[in-house]
Structures are given as structure tokens and as C-alpha cells.
Amino acid sequence: MRIVYFLTTLGVGGAEKQTIALAERMAARGHAVSLVVLKHTEEEWPVKLPVLRLNLRKSPFGVWRGLRFAGNFLTLFRPDLVHSHTFPANLFARLLRLGSARDGAPAIVNTIHNMYEGGWHRMAMYALTDTLSDAVTAVSTAAAERYARLHAVPSKKLSVLTNGIDTAVFVHDRARRSRVRKQMLAGNRFIWLAVGRIAPAKDYPNLLRAFALVKAEESDTELWIAGEGVSDFSKETHVRMLGLRRDVIELLDAADGFVLSSAWEGLPLALGEAMAMEKPVVATDVGGVRELTGKHGVLVPAKDSEALAAAMLGVMRMDRSSRRFMGHAARARIEMDFSMEAKADAWEALYERTIQERHK
């Protein structure tokens, strides 16, 4: 197959990371793959594949220019399928269908990565342009149900295909753990790690309130937050703001537990990576979190700092063998149900079905 992936940006986020990983996996399987990116950001994931950057401007002329340029590229590349991710790229991919001959246009698959991709006007735009896509997927059942309930996407057109984790890369390493803890001067403290950029969805104020309660009862602990824009978010000495990090695997190895305090999510990639790294996880029960953790995480209501603190303290007060068992079970779940290789098989099958339906 010839596949083009459309992304809004290559910014350091879960949706972008997942899309790049999928694209590279498809290229490794022998498909011809290219990426089209609508906008530039300062910090980006590295990509080994060809990338067309549209540098789209928010104006009617800028959008028209971008559509024309992207359309010319598709004419040259001749893809069988376009797979877009997140609202701006999904809408852009749909608009490319306008004016295209049905027989010559590629199949279009849109993926929704979050419970919330905007207000009513975006939902209306999804509904109004629905006929311009061939298939729509969501990363969790919770997200799919919400978009169907809002009539943004017809339920018969929606399917769920969850994120995948590269279990060959996210593997616990004792030697690496010792080295990183020494470098970070962690000592014997219990280290909680949170990963994600500063944004309302991540609800870091909730986490900071919860950790203050944890610290009051268990002083020998520390919270590390790794994510873009977090360096000035807290001045507490027991909270280490690490900023944007490219070494999340190393940080996960060094940590003793992973915590997610989000107000809403689609299917959080960092949580799945923590599970693959055998970390006990505490998370808010939002979006697809329960679908990801199953019985192998401690879940609490969103925006409840006391419940989050109690769950964190509960994990800290487990004996080491219990925490180790919890981590082993979490990894086993990821290997069985969320491995990147299995997800690539599922995407490949979906692509083939969509292309066949397109050309009936």
C-alpha cells in the first residue's frame, strides 16, 4: 500500500508519537509511507520518514494554499489511503476530498485521539463533513461513545483501535535504574513520576494538591514531572519540574510509581508505557484509562485530590513484592492487548478493508 499520514504538528505529544510509530512500523513492513504536517512547532519528535511541511496559516488564503499544495503532493505520491490524526488534520484531510474524482481519490481514515477535541462548533464541522471520510476510529471506547452521542460521527462508521506500545523498547532495566537514580540523586526516596505537557487536561494542580497530602504523611518521597512548559509550574522542593525530556524510558526506570491526574483523556500513551515498564500506576478514572489498565492499576475519580493522595499512599505502603507483582501484571496486560505489533496488524487490516470498500 501507499499511505500518507496527516498530522497537525510533530509536537512532543502522545498522538504525534503514536502516529510516527505507526507510520514507521508500516514503512518497515514494506509499504510506501510519507507524512504531511500542517504546522511547525519548536519541539518535535524525530522522524525517519519523508515529511512534507505545509506551514499552514490561519486564514482562508492560507488554508486554500495548503490544500492546493497538499493536493498536488497527493497527485504525485498517488496514495491508496490517507490516515489523519486529531481534529485540524482530520478536517484538512476531508477538505482535500472536495473536487476530487471519486475513482482517483484515496480512501480517508480519521482518528480521534481525545475525549475532547473542541466545542460544539468542531463537533458540527465533523458532522457536516462526515461524507468526506471513509472510516473514523477512536483510541478508546469512551471517546467513540462520546462522539457518537454528540452526533459528530455516526456510530455505524466509528470503530475503536487503541494505541500500541513498543514492548521491545519499553523494558525495565535494573542497571539503568541504578544509574539514573544515582544521577538524579534520588537516594532511597520513593519516586513518583508524571509525564505530560502543562495543559488543562492533565490537571497538575490536582496532582500537586494530592502530593502535598502524600508528603505530609510520608516525607521520604519526591514527585518528578516531565513535560513541556512545566519548569516554572511549582516551586516546592519535593516536586522536581524536569521540563521536556527525551529520556522518558530512563525516568520510568528510575521511578517507583507512575501517577496520572488528568481531568480528561483519550487513551494516555504515557500510562501504557509506564505499565510496560512494570510500574505500579495510580490514575484518574477518565476517558479510556480503565480500558487500558483493566484490573492492573489503582483508579480514582477526577479532580479528587484526597482520593488521589490516598491511592498513592496505598501503593507506597505496599510491600515491595506486592508492588513488583502489580508491575509484572501491568506489563503482561500491555504485551497481550496493547503491543505495537498487534496494533499494526489491526491497522493494516483496517486499511485494506477501507480501500476495498472505497473502490467497490
Condensed to tens digits (0 to 9), the pLDDT of residues 53-87 reads 999 988 989 999 999 999 999 999 999 999 999 99
C-alpha to C-alpha distance for 159 and 350, rounded to whole angstroms? 10
Condensed to tens digits (0 to 9), the pLDDT of residues 117-128 reads 989 999 999 999
Kind of pairing between the strands at 281-284 and 298-300: parallel
Amino acid sitting at position 15 = A
pTM given for the model: 0.90
Q: Would the CATH topology of 2-164+340-358 be identical to that of 174-337? A: yes
* pLDDT in the model for residue 83: 98
Higher pLDDT residue, 136 or 98?
136
pLDDT at 235 over 80: no
**Average pLDDT for residues 226-237, to the nearest whole number?**
68
Answer CATH for 2-164+340-358 from 3.40.50.2000, 3.30.1300.10, 3.30.465.10, 3.10.450.50: 3.40.50.2000
Beta-sheet strands, E only, within the chain: 2-7, 32-37, 51-53, 81-85, 107-112, 135-138, 158-160, 190-195, 221-226, 239-243, 257-260, 281-284, 298-300
In this structure, is the dihedral angle defined by the CA atoms of residues 259, 262, 264 and 270, taken in order, positive or negative?
Answer: negative
Condensed to tens digits (0 to 9), the pLDDT of residues 319-340 reads 999 999 999 999 999 999 999 9
pLDDT at 101 over 80: no
pLDDT at 360 over 80: no
Condensed to tens digits (0 to 9), the pLDDT of residues 17-55 reads 999 999 999 999 999 999 999 999 888 999 999 999 999
User: How big is the chain, counted in residues?
Assistant: 360
* pLDDT in the model for residue 42: 86
Q: How far is CA 35 from the centre of its chain?
A: 18
CATH number of 174-337: 3.40.50.2000
Mean pLDDT, rounded, of the chain: 94
In this structure, is the dihedral angle defined by the CA atoms of residues 9, 14, 19 and 25, taken in order, positive or negative?
Answer: positive
DSSP tag of 201: G
Percentage of the chain lying above the pLDDT 70 cut? 97
Domain boundaries, the chain: 2-164+340-358, 174-337
- Quickly list DSSP for 280-338: -EEEE--TTHHHHHTTSSEEE-TT-HHHHHHHHHHHHTS-HHHHHHHHHHHHHHHHHH-
